[in-house]
Chains A and B, each alone.
Chain A
Amino acid sequence: MKKEDIITLPHKSLRQRSIRIGIITDDILKLITDMKSAMLDWEAARDHEITVGLAAVQVNKLLRIFIIRDKPDHSAFAVFINPEITKYEGKLIEDYEGCLSIKDIYGLVPRYEKVRVRAMGVDGKIFTVKASGDIARILQHETDHTNGVVFIDHIKDTPDAFYQLTEKGNLHKLDYEKDIRNNRILW
């Protein structure tokens, strides 16, 4: 898959719940490989952005799967099938996040500091991870996708939380009234 296979708002699939995976078939494994290459292809075309996670719904497959890149240098992928957040811990922390399916917009999104996630791996075995910081944020963002939620839904009533990436790679605050509130692409 290529970056063109990644869907963006206002695509309707992005606000739909994905379905659970029963057994891991070859088609599922192929989809996971395709998602990785779509992610890398997307990133290669960007100067100032890196990809850290992608859910199957973003390539228009309504399946409860996401992949994340979990090393500091982002070299390794981890696969989560039927993910569930089983525990939220710590404070709500605001930080910038963006989404491959939402063009140009970044947001200051509150997320829990720590989470526990239970999911199935590509080997079909159930595992649990405890994560904090950046990884906890990514896990919350991607699990949302499997439930038809995108990050802007968390901040839709927070005028100060919307930013735009400039050509130089800096984030500039957007005019909520003008650019966000009645933006038919987003809502």
Chain B
Amino acid sequence: MKKTSETIVFFGSGPVAAASLGHLSEVFSIEAVITKARAAHHRVAAPVEILASTKDLPLLFANTRQELDELLEKTNLKSRVGVIVDFGVIVSQGAIDHFELGIINSHFSLLPEWRGADPITFAVLSGQPKTGVSLMLIEPTLDTGKILTQKSLPITPKDTTPTLTDKLINLSNLLLAEYLPQYLEGSVKPRSQPHPDRATYSRKLTKEDGTINWDKSAAELEREIRAYAEWPRSRTMLDNKEVIVVAAHVVPGNNDKPGAISIDEKRSKITVATGKDSLQIDILQPAGKKAMTAQAFLLGNLK
């Protein structure tokens, strides 16, 4: 016996989208890939574009909700379901209704926790012991849709936003490969998000988020350093030079006011007092230079 193959439409723009599309295109037939057109000043094609062209997948562009509506109106796609990962365009109810079985979003948190644009960074920032992936049927309101499945994974004390992102992409790929066929078959019942009153929200970061405020506790700052590892990074002034703190750890107690720097006698450790306890800087990167250990930095600075 043969069947007409079930196809899906993929919506995605960023690097996480590319990683997901790479896997999905191995498991499903992709009818079309819809992505944001690259900005005029970006000369290199985005990862999703590159992937779509190497795998010969039909590529369509939409930059706004209206453009997406118009695109779906005129393309007449036949897929029963859409999958959306890291797309960056809000989708209207009209667009969702183009798909008999709706549009599934892989959201990188245990919803209703960390709805919004940047769930991974906020999970690291919060210091919570676990996060996860939720497959959700999207609604026009932000991350409020019904859930097909959720799976959690631990956040280790060493995890940074990039390391955690990699793990979550893997988990998301596994969940999509397992649950999407079941959903298409009709054997998964979407259920409402548990405890919507306990929802928490993430937001887009700004460059200012990366400026270290030494009045915060050392534990909080250490988490910021891991959470902001890719962008905006955690910056401060040392010896009148701007440096990025790459890795640090908390040492109990502080014997000075927040922001005060102390250096040990052997000149191998830089410790900064904070609002609670102190932060010892292990690796840092001066502006325009490579990352180095505190000891190496001290050879030429803070004399």
Contact = CB atoms under 8 A, between A and B. Distances in A.
Contacts of B187: 133
Interface in B1-24: 1-5, 7
A51 B187 CA distance: 21
B3 A49 contact: yes
A116 B182 CA distance: 21
A84 interface: no
B1 A141 contact: yes
Contacts of A133: 185-187
A53 interface: yes
A59 interface: no
Contact of A96 (B4, B27, B181): B4
B4 A165 contact: yes
A49 B5 contact: yes
B1 A138 contact: yes
Interface in B249-290: none
Contacts of A100: 1-2
Contacts of B291: none
Given A73-B177, A170-B78, A50 B5 contact: yes
Given A72-B185, A73-B27, A73-B177, A168 B78 contact: yes
A49 B4 contact: yes
A49 B181 contact: no
Contact of B2 (A72, A98, A134, A171): A98
Contact of B3 (A72, A73, A97, A170): A97
Which residue, of B3, B177, B181, B186, has the highest number of chain A Cβ atoms within 10 A?
Answer: B3
B4 A51 contact: no
A169 interface: yes
Contact of A99 (B2, B29, B78): B2
Given A73-B27, A133-B187, A168-B78, A52 B182 contact: no
Given A72-B181, A73-B177, A169 B2 contact: no
A168 B7 CA distance: 12
B7 A98 contact: no
Contacts of A106: 4
A173 B48 CA distance: 37
A48 interface: yes
Contacts of B78: 168-170
A171 B4 CA distance: 9
A169 B181 contact: no
A53 B1 contact: yes
Contact of B1 (A52, A72, A168): A52
Nearest to B26: A73
B185 A48 contact: no
Lowest 10 CB-CB distances: which A-B pairs, in order? A72-B181, A141-B1, A53-B1, A98-B2, A50-B5, A51-B2, A49-B2, A138-B1, A52-B1, A100-B2
Interface of A: 48-53, 72-73, 96-100, 106, 133-134, 137-138, 141-142, 151, 165, 168-171
